């Protein structure tokens, strides 16, 4: 199951990953631990989100890009 739907919006697990990044969890391992999303799915989801321009990475640390932050801020807490 993908983290970005065909219409370009995050799926439920995609929103959980965005929320984790918004809350400061930057590595795939920390995101997986904080969201209960399996690590393999977090890694593939982050790749999808990077391609979509929602996140960026440097040395296995991820951060939200403005487009991703806007979407993460729409996620109910």
Task: Give 77's pLDDT tier (boundaries 50, 70, 90).
Answer: very low
- State the pTM of this model: 0.89
CATH number at residue 25: 1.10.10.10
Q: Domain range for residue 24?
A: 12-71
Give yes or no for residue 76 having a pLDDT over 60. Answer: no
Number of domains in the chain: 1
Whether residue 10 is predicted with pLDDT greater than 60 in this model: the reply is yes
CB 68 within 8 A of CB 49: yes
DSSP 11-76: -HHHHHHHHHHHTT--SHHHHHHHHT--HHHHHHHHHHHHHTTSEEEETTEEEE-HHHHHHHTTS-
Residues in the chain: 77
Asked if residue 44 belongs to a domain, the reply is yes
32-56: per-residue pLDDT in tens?
Answer: 999 999 999 999 999 999 999 999 9
Is 77 within a domain?
Answer: no
The average pLDDT across 10-28 equals 92
For residue 46, being part of any structural domain is answered with yes
């Amino acid at each position: 199951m993908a983290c970005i739907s065909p219409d370009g919006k995050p799926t439920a697990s995609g929103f959980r990953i965005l929320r984790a990044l918004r809350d400061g969890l930057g590595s795939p391992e920390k995101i997986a631990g904080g969201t209960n999303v399996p690590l393999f799915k977090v890694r593939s989801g982050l790749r999808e989100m990077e391609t979509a321009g929602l996140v960026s990475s440097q040395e296995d640390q991820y951060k939200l890009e403005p487009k991703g932050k806007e979407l993460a801020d729409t996620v109910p807490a």
